[in-house]
Structure 1
């Protein structure tokens, strides 16, 4: 039995693994999760699990992210009393990648929205995931939606701006659309100006794609990954607002959708 397999890298590149003292030690040296606890036959392909990482963690540690990552999440600022009124760990109070508030976040906010004198009597219901009342649930959903909206408003770019920028970056090397790309990138303002300055580039009458050196192309790929991450992060918050609005509407027939936090 040998310990020679192959490690499937983030971009599909295969790197051979060779170790004389067992596959598990071989895997540990890579710093990723082990999915195999026995020696593998010589030449057998070995797949490694990256673990339950968010897209930000994958990007920071491995240089890639996933379009659909079930482990991705977003956090919103919470009142200090929310933490004080429940026993949930802070890292469990988040929004899932599909915009759904976590079980712990909903429980903590339902308890926080309950008058302090009544919390002890409803605690067992809250921790079992039970909705306490329509009024309590509407308050919680409105609070979450408003908090998501505030976070989005305070970010330097919007979903629309990031989407346009990603489209422009995708087309940057397209020789058929040089001026359209140049105009789109100019609209990104400070970011694009910083990119041009860092690589001593200028947008002129020629083909934009031909102005990029190999170093600039690599830098643009990293820039694109960063924009992809922040766009996905914003969409989690936008989806959460939509989800909360739907729940409010279903619980309150008189809800008119005139809130300032609508997506």
Structure 2
């Protein structure tokens, strides 16, 4: 997990030079960098639901472990916090940033059940499109096994192409546990800085998950070495394999104005409770 999180954003020219030396990923002609963003330590994307209004504040999706203040604890759910975080918006060909976006709220973040964070920006979807010609990526339903996907890293300005290899009942890493995680085929050999990248379904161009971790050295259930646990409690370690988390739960928790309502009927995101430490403040 931390192998995908870097301390400071590289200059755009350095990052692009590094990727330019790599061969172009196959089967990604329909997927580009439009909507991708770079954080100081991670990747992310501007996302929307199918029902979002054009004048709603835009949202940026990344990982819960990409927060500037550090990893949320196991069981911690953070809701509606002030934020002034900035994001570098990429142009469609990924050759460099074309503008800076700024958050005014951290709407939601957790590393419990999933590994996701949603920032609400101080501009709307329409304003981003008018200023930069970039449309937000739409959040879609749960992906299908075998689907061709692209992991689009705004940090590295690189697209990884592979398929959904399967789903993991529980993925455990150090103190954290995630449910129904997405396992990639080996071609998506994601690296540090790709945390928070959108997982894009190649056929639809929609976001079906968020990239978050991989087993680096073959250890069992330790930091940077997640393990798979099935319904019977059997543990499997897949050295070198990488994973993402589901995002299909998010639309059911969003309301008008790009606000999270965890009490809304149909909302399946982890919620603060007597068993979940929460940092909910006015």
TM-score strictly above 0.5: no
Higher percent of residues as helix: 1
Higher Cα Rg, which structure:
1
TM-score computed with the length of structure 2 as normaliser: 0.24
Structure with the largest fraction of strand = 2
